[in-house]
Structure 1
Amino acid sequence: MPFAVYVLGLAVFAQGTSEFMLSGLVSSIAADLGVSLAAAGLLTSAFAVGMVLGAPLMALAGRTWPRRRALLFFLAVFVAVHIAGALTPSYGVLLATRFVGALANAGFWAVALVSLPAFAAILRSLPGGVRGDGEAAPVRNELRVRDELRVLTGPRLRPTLLTMALVQGATFCAFSYLEPLLTRESGLSSAWVPAALALFGAGAFLGVTVAGRYADRRATALVAYGMVALALGWSALALTAGRPVAVLVLIPLLGLLAFGTGTALITRLLGQAAGAPTLAGASATAAFNLGAAVGPWAGGLALDAGLGHRAPVWVSAALMGLALVVTGARRAAVAVSGVRVTE
């Protein structure tokens, strides 16, 4: 593959690390800043809200920019706001940097150091033009933005986008509060937290790999079975949270199911949204991050209500139940209308 692909992969790795790494830090952040676990969890929601707004806006704004200029600008914002986030003692400032940084797909703390070599490599290796041949060229917009929005807001895509948000909400609700679950319910020491997060990540990697291989042909089956399995899996985690071995077995399995199902949902959406080539990917990002914003918030409400550290996992199971209801209602509507929907 071209070197630029690896460079972009490094940048995406840094950004993904930013979004997920708070799961292992919520107790420390809460203690350092003098806030509750729920407030620390809202830092993940703030990032996700920035992504919800930023994904479509940046997709539109970047259409006419030379690609290197756009990437360097966003990555510069990425680095700056997350250095500020790493240095601030203020919860309010940290919350703001999470939001602003997400507009550029950002991360903080040591993540900024990972971004700096990506910045330099993009400057050297990516072409400057919008055509990809090194020369600036005007962008021809084959479809108007209004036409793309009409496709994305149509009755065919709304249930898919809502399902994506619910699945991601379930994932982030439990994942954001995984560290206190492990240390306060499962009885594991804090030294186990990085290992548990790595297990979840390994499962997620396997899930994306498997779904990426088969989703083009079996997206419907992968989504259906994955959603049922996730509803059962989050319920099982809540029920067995006091058993360390069971928790450590379930964590990678849930990572596999969550990201495998998510990948299949993206494949379904892109297939349905062929008439919205500019905004389809941004809409998928926005839907997932809407869930990533609502999930930690809902889990925090359950914690603040005094329902215990297993409560966010039960909220995840409930969100998956809602996702299954949405999917079932969609299929029932299709059956009643007699219209065959290809996926």
Structure 2
Amino acid sequence: MDKRILPLTLGGLAIGTTEFVIMALLPDVAKSLNISIPQAGHFISSYAAGVVVGAPILVAYAAKFPPKRILIFLMIAFTIFNGLSALSNDYYTMMILRFMSGLPHGAFFGVGIVVSSRLAKPGKQAQSIAMMFAGLTLANLAMVPFVTWLGHQLSWRYAFGVVSLIGLVTILALKFLLPYMNSLRTVGLKDELEFFKTIKAWHIISISAIGFGGLFAWFSYITPLMTNVSKFPTDSIAYIMVLAGSGMVVGNFLGGIMSDKMRPALAASILFTAMILALICVFFFSENKIISLVLTFICGVLSMSVGTPINIIMLRTAKNSEMMAAAIMQAAFNIANSLGAFFGGLPLEFGLTYNYPSLVGAGLSILGLLLCLGFMRKYKAVI
């Protein structure tokens, strides 16, 4: 691994841990704050909203500075707000702090994606980006299960303490390992934003914002799904998260390889189709423990593999606006996070069982596939 990419991978590890551990600890947080599980799901949406707001605004302001300085500043803010989240004692404070914690997320990845692509060897752009996103997969393979176990044994608050510790390590790595680069902005902000006045840009954004919502409808409620439907004991959730994380590790590299070997829009369409089938299977077969575990791994693979081709489509399309485009893709990804958590929680509000969010997810993924196929048909020249 190129050590210059390591600080970006560590940043992905910190961000992935805070983004996904709340899903694993949802019942614990709900019980501690005396709220319902669907209400605790609002913390997922609040974090996602922070990403959506922070990504374009912070990149627009910070892009004139060297990327190393930007990334260090963003990680300092991320570390502070996650540390404060550990001290939250009520619903509204937690909502605010989760929103603030999400603000640096999209900008960090927006800058980091462009930096990693610039540091990549010729023909290895997708795989270099995948190495940055390996932090997200490692978060789900190792850190999320660990802090889930820690949260169950001690308190969910320790999870956010660990996230802050990873944030501190990331800040040091950025300072000592990431090379200095001049500002990545090649055109003025006004020219950079011109791309986002096009239908093409919003077509790509909508693929992510809607299509990825299917996976978040499933993953946001994975803990009650596995304990209430699949009937696994609560103390086994950490091991189930390891299984999901293993799938994400495989999926991350699968997405990078597929994007370098074939048209990225074709790769995304194939993966969206597989996602739909997997989520439908979750709905019908989650009562069977063995099948449920297999599907957890498969959904983990699909949750990360489809991200790389969508990002490559955006980077190839958004000439001279790559950093803003990458940041807005993170915003779109977290709109999907918010939509998935919200719409996935609606069946639960009406008293339906915890396998119904995956059925909602399949519907969102079908819309994502249709949008992707429409993009392929309309813009053959860029995919």
The question of a shared fold, defined as TM-score above 0.5 by the shorter chain, is answered with yes
* Contact 1:65 1:130 (C-alpha < 8 Å) held by counterparts: no
Aligned to 2:330: 285
SS across alignment from 2:200: coil
Counterpart position of 1:134: none
Question: 2:382 is aligned with what amino acid?
Answer: T
The structure in which a higher percent of residues are helix is 2
Shift of 1:328: 4.2
What pairs up with 1:1-343 in 2 under 5 angstroms?
Answer: 3-105=3-105, 108-126=160-178, 130-131=181-182, 139=183, 141-218=185-262, 219-330=264-375, 334=378, 340-343=380-383
Further displaced range: 77-86 or 176-185: 77-86
The 1:306/1:70 distance shift into structure 2, 3 A limit, reads same
By how many angstroms is 1:295 displaced? 0.9
Matched AA of 1:342 = V
Q: 1:221 to 1:122 in 2, by over 3 A?
A: closer
Residue 11 of structure 1 and its aligned partner are, at CA, apart by 2.3
Deviations 1:76-130 (A, max 9, x none): 2222211111122112111111110111239933211122222233334446x65
Structure 1 unaligned segments of length 5 or more: list them: 132-138
Q: Residue 231 and residue 141 in structure 1: after superposition, are their counterparts in 2 closer, same or farther (change >3 A)?
A: closer
CA RMSD of aligned residues (A): 2.1
Taking a change above 3 Å as real, the CA distance of residues 341 and 140 of structure 1, as seen in their structure-2 partners, is: closer
Looking at structure 1, the residues matched to 184 and 316 of structure 2 have their Cα atoms a distance apart, in angstroms, of 23
Q: Could you tell me which amino acid in structure 1 is paired with residue 310 of structure 2?
A: L
| TM-score, normalised via structure 1 length | 0.89
1:144 maps to a residue whose letter is G
Which letter maps to 1:306?
Answer: G
Greater CA deviation, 6-15 or 310-319? Answer: 6-15
Query: For residues 197 and 125 of structure 1, what CA distance do their matches in structure 2 show?
Result: 30
Distance 1:118 1:258 in 2: 24
Q: Give the Å deviation of 1:277.
A: 2.4
Query: Number of paired residues?
Result: 330
Deviation track 1:183-234 (CA, whole Å, cap 9, x = no partner) reads: 0010111122112211111111111102212303311321111111111110
Measured in 1, the distance between the counterparts of 2:164 and 2:185 equals 34
> C-alpha separation between the residues in 2 aligned to 1:118 and 1:140?
21
Q: Distance in 2 between matches of 1:327 and 1:341?
A: 15
- Quick check: 2:85–2:160 contact (8 Å CA) kept in 1? yes
Q: Is the 8 A contact 1:4 1:125 kept in 2?
A: yes
Q: Distance in 1 between matches of 2:373 and 2:166?
A: 43
Is contact 1:38-1:304 (8 Å) kept?
yes
Q: CA deviation at 1:141?
A: 4.6
Taking a change above 3 Å as real, the CA distance of residues 217 and 342 of structure 1, as seen in their structure-2 partners, is farther
Change (3 A) 1:340 1:115: closer
For structure 2, the 5+ residue unaligned runs are 109-158
Query: What is the alpha-carbon distance in structure 2 between the residues aligned to residue 257 and residue 141 of structure 1?
Result: 33
Letter in structure 1 aligned against 2:308: T
For residues 258 and 173 of structure 2, the distance between their equivalents in structure 1, rounded to whole angstroms, comes to 33
Distance 1:254 1:77 in 2: 32
Distance in 2 between residues matched to 1:220 and 1:70, nearest whole Å: 31
Distance 2:184 2:288 in 1: 58
Letter paired with 2:80: A
Taking the aligned partners of 2:318 and 2:242, their CA distance within structure 1 comes to 34
Measure, in 2, the Cα distance between the counterparts of 1:119 and 1:275.
28
| Cα distance in 2, alignment partners of residues 327 and 140 from structure 1 | 29
List structure 1 segments (4+ residues) > 6 angstroms apart after TM superposition. Answer: none
Per-residue CA deviation, residues 260-292 of structure 1 (Å, 9 max, x unaligned), is 112211112212222422312112111111111
1:306, CA displacement in angstroms?
1.4
Separation in 1, partners of 2:374, 2:177: 48
Hey, what's the Cα distance between the residues in 2 that align with 1:159 and 1:189? 42
What's the TM-score, normalizing by structure 2?
A: 0.80
CA distance in 1, matches of 2:186, 2:301: 38
Other structure's SS at 1:278 match? helix
Identity of aligned residues (%): 27
